[in-house]
Chain A
Amino acid sequence: EAQVTQNPRYLITVTGKKLTVTCSQNMNHEYMSWYRQDPGLGLRQIYYSMNVEVTDKGDVPEGYKVSRKEKRNFPLILESPSPNQTSLYFCASGGAEALFEQYFGPGTRLTVT
């Protein structure tokens, strides 16, 4: 089954404790991206990657890091989480043949206290 998986699905953590949210896709997509969703603001792109070792900033990259060492994986790293990073996070992937139409993962609900 074609899918994007994210782990964990729910996470409660404390300020300053480094965390990683994993994302994996099995569709051989070139493009992968991370978004955060906050009430009233819609989806905002954090980082995206066009291919292995190629990443670029989206609209809200501050406080986040990413890496793309393998085509299928695109982890999101919060080195020192803060309460304003409490949000719903989505990973997505897209293939060039479908004009990078985004396939979204199930989401990760992060709470930073």
Chain B
Amino acid sequence: ILNVEQSPQSLHVQEGDSTNFTCSFPSSNFYALHWYRWETAKSPEALFVMTLNGDEKKKGRISATLNTKEGYSYLYIKGSQPEDSATYLCAFRHDYKLSFGAGTTVTVRA
């Protein structure tokens, strides 16, 4: 079982503030790094799939960067809104196997 770690486990953000959090994964045997957004009582939804070192992806106020050499990815939320409250999961793909981190739960306070 490959170790995919996310930190912090949870964070609280004031509405309008920006935040970021980390996904760490093995730097060898890398195929892709996925990010998902998971709202309470719903199913996870894909945000990004990243494959290349130095990759940057953006969707609205959410963006992500990837460093495959050192084995980490950052997810950024700019100008957090209450609807950004969710658990954000990363998943490391090695061959066709996907290993998920435990997630970072973001709570945005109005």
Contact = CB atoms under 8 A, between A and B. Distances in A.
A40 B31 CA distance: 26
A102 B34 contact: yes
Interface residues of A, number: 25
Interface in B70-110: 89, 91, 93, 96-103
Contacts of A48: 96-98
B13 interface: no
Contacts of A56: 96-97
Contacts of B45: 104
Interface of B: 1, 32, 34, 36, 43-46, 49, 51, 89, 91, 93, 96-103
Interface of A: 31, 33, 35, 40-45, 48, 50, 56, 58-59, 90, 98-107
